[in-house]
Amino acid sequence: MKNRSAAQGSSKLYLFFIILALWAAACKTEREALKNTAELPFFGQDTSLLKDLNGQILEREQIQVETGYSEEVESYRIKYSSDGLKVVGFLVKQKKEGVRWPVLIYNRGGNREFGRITLKMMKYFSYLASSGYAVLASQYRGNDGGQGREEFGGSDVNDVLTLIHLARSLPFTDPDKIVMLGYSRGGMMTYLAIKQGAPIKAAAVVGGVTDIIQNLQDRGEGMRRVVEELVGKDENEYKRRSALYWPDKINVPVLILHGEDDWRVNVSQARKLAEELKKLGKDHKLVVFPGGDHGLNTHRPERNRLIFDWFDKYLN
């Protein structure tokens, strides 16, 4: 009887140690899983698709943007690597999984903190994303807490080009369907990205700067001070940033939209560039809006329709 009790006690003790070992193994597995999850790149980014660190997402923060698209779209403020700098950018996409969206790279206007991307602009990004795009945008280096110094179309163009590499490393984007949209100074950045060989299917520019020299003449001392602070006084640098002086480099289909009453960038800039592109047989379309302002906010429905139609033409 005593032997039987001892045997039962040993069995229970043995079972206890087995359960304890299994529990410890399960805890270890859970810890390792949590650790591995924490180390996963943001958005499941495949960094092996990047040639170097340029384009790696280093930080992200979800932003609540109240729009009619809030249920279907999610918005993020990110920091990504560009030329070894932490640059602030934004990513907006639909929540739907298992879809590879065309990419729309948005280039903002303004300079430094003036014209930076705000919640108001994020609402526009939500609208673009709800229309079937993964939207990426940069504040450009040196702005909104990012590292470096912007150069108004100098090395900061790399911040735009790097977004293309970033986009191609994400699991929810179509790497073969990338377009670009630039407003004002962002139009200049778009032309510069094209000049440097950006592998995009099409571009659209609204109120874009095509000739800094003319812009300085039209806008006066205030604009001259901005450009001299960011670029310097060398007119060759102005021409290097101005598409009017190298229309032969525009080898991407471009939609040029401009308001006739635009006081920030005279409509003649758009007309001059379109004329040069026409002479060279470049694929482009110019639409001038009578009474239109700088961002064509006076003609939003038609502006948006033209942009989407242009992109659809080259993506489908």
> Which sequence spans correspond to the domains of the chain?
1-39, 46-315
Between CA 57 and CA 71 the distance in angstroms is 25
Helix (H, G, I), strand (E, B) or coil at 114: strand
Q: Where are the alpha helices (DSSP H) in 169-286?
A: 185-195, 212-219, 221-230, 235-240, 267-279
How far is the C-alpha of 7 from the C-alpha of 127, rounded, in Å? 72
What span, in angstroms and rounded, lies between the C-alpha atoms of 226 and 3? 95
Instruction: State residue 136's pLDDT score.
Output: 98
Render the burial of 210-229: b for 16+ CB within 10 Å, e for the rest: bbbebbbeebeeebeebbee
Q: How many CA atoms lie within 13 A of 231 on its CB side?
A: 23
Helix count and strand count (H, E) for the chain = 9, 9
Name the residue among 165, 175, 181 with its Cα closest to residue 107: 181
DSSP character at residue 254 = E
Instruction: Say how far apart CA 235 and CA 226 lie, in whole Å.
Output: 14
Residue range 46-315, CATH number: 3.40.50.1820
Q: How far apart are CA 209 and CA 264, in angstroms?
A: 9
pLDDT along the chain (316 residues), means of 10: 48 52 47 40 94 95 91 96 98 96 98 94 96 98 97 97 98 97 98 98 98 95 94 96 98 98 97 98 98 96 98 97
Task: Output b/e per residue, 250-278; b: 16+ Cβ within 10 A.
Answer: bebbbbbbbbeebebbbbebbebbbebbe
Q: Which residue has the tokens 């490393």?
A: 169
Alpha-carbon separation of residue 136 from 130, 141, 182 (angstroms): 14, 15, 12
Residues in the chain: 316
Measure the CA–CA gap between 133 and 93, rounded to whole angstroms: 7
Exposed / middle / buried, residue 121 (Cβ in 10 Å: 0-12, 13-18, 19+): middle
Query: In angstroms, rounded to a whole number, what is the distance separating the alpha carbons of residues 152 and 171?
Result: 32
**Tokens in use for 55?**
């384009």
